Structure 1
Amino acid sequence: MTQLDWKIELIPLAVSDVDRAKAFYGDQVGWNVDFDNTVHEGLRFVQVTPQGSACSFCFGVGLEMMPEGSSQLIQVVVPDADAARAYLREREVDCSDVDELPWGRFVYFQDPDGNRWSLQQIIRAG
């Protein structure tokens, strides 16, 4: 049997204001804005990618990838929850304190449209 590689590369986000979302993820959170293309009136595609991630996130107008008003919960692994929290706070992103759980250390934030992010520092049993 052939081994298949499954690579998650793009996850859609529902947003109500594309410019506000682009400013939040690109300017405030500091992720790379890979694309911002208006194909024609009623069709705009924006893609952002966190530093070091093989997976990008997209949103726009006319994409019909997610129902209007829906939201995502996305978990991201980070090497250091304290550093992730400090990074977000430096950029004036409203985020939680570090949540210490037996299976990891977490920081939470959300975008202006209610898409929620869980940043996990994995704790290895030692």
Structure 2
Amino acid sequence: MDMKLEVVILPVADAVRAKGFYVERLGWRLDADFPINDGYRIVQVTPPGSEASVIFGEGLTAQAPGTLHGLQLTVTDITKAQEELTSRGVDVTGPFRDATGAFRHAGDAYRIPGPHPERASYGTFAAFTDPDGNEWFLQEVTQRAPGR
């Protein structure tokens, strides 16, 4: 049976501010904005090229705003992605790679500035946060591993 990640619930403090960041600043597609009633609002956005969406709003999660860390977006060119986000007013950290060469550690203790020396697929990252502090990573994937 296939199982596909469809939606990630993002904890935010202010749905209007979050909508402005994700739709107006990042340029993500607005799929839905349903203000159901006072204290319950559903906003769904989708990153360009993604099959999975992000939902935020009011009354959707007990998780504290800004506590989701490690969300990841895959890009084919980390330099171009960083340039585009920066041109949209987003503060992006990176590019960087992990000292181990495998994925990335939490925090920044093992970060080495600059892209992977061979620009190996899966080896270069950049990071940004939304206005609440939810942390997003970009990972450069130029050639997918077999079966992916």
The interval holding the TM-score normalised by the smaller chain is: 0.7 to 0.9
- Per the TM alignment, residue 56 of structure 1 is displaced from its structure 2 partner at its CA by 0.2
> Tell me, what secondary structure is at the counterpart of 1:104?
coil
Partner of 1:35: 32
Partner of 1:115: 134
- Quick check: 1:73 aligned with 2:70? yes
- Looking at structure 1, the residues matched to 142 and 29 of structure 2 have their Cα atoms a distance apart, in angstroms, of 28
2:52 to 44, 52, 55: 55
Matches within 5 A, 1:81-92: 81-92=78-89
- Per the TM alignment, residue 123 of structure 1 is displaced from its structure 2 partner at its CA by 5.5
- Looking at structure 2, the residues matched to 89 and 34 of structure 1 have their Cα atoms a distance apart, in angstroms, of 24
Contact 1:13 1:71 in 2 (8 A): yes
- Looking at structure 2, the residues matched to 83 and 91 of structure 1 have their Cα atoms a distance apart, in angstroms, of 12
- Looking at structure 2, the residues matched to 104 and 122 of structure 1 have their Cα atoms a distance apart, in angstroms, of 8
Identity in percent: 40
Partner of 1:46: 43
- Looking at structure 1, the residues matched to 14 and 29 of structure 2 have their Cα atoms a distance apart, in angstroms, of 18
Partner of 2:93: 96
Structure 1 stretches lacking a partner, 5+ long: none
Structure 2 stretches lacking a partner, 5+ long: 97-114, 144-148
- Looking at structure 2, the residues matched to 123 and 43 of structure 1 have their Cα atoms a distance apart, in angstroms, of 40
- RMSD of aligned Cα (Å): 1.5
One-letter amino acid matched to 2:130: D
What's the TM-score once normalised by structure 2's chain length?
0.75
> Tell me, what secondary structure is at the counterpart of 2:94?
coil
> Tell me, what secondary structure is at the counterpart of 1:46?
strand
> Tell me, what secondary structure is at the counterpart of 2:76?
coil
Deviation string, structure 1 residues 98-123 (Cα, Å, up to 9, x no partner): 11246411111010111111100126
> Tell me, what secondary structure is at the counterpart of 2:54?
strand
Contact 2:9 2:60 in 1 (8 A): no
What's the TM-score once normalised by structure 1's chain length?
0.88
- Looking at structure 2, the residues matched to 34 and 22 of structure 1 have their Cα atoms a distance apart, in angstroms, of 11
Partner of 2:12: 15
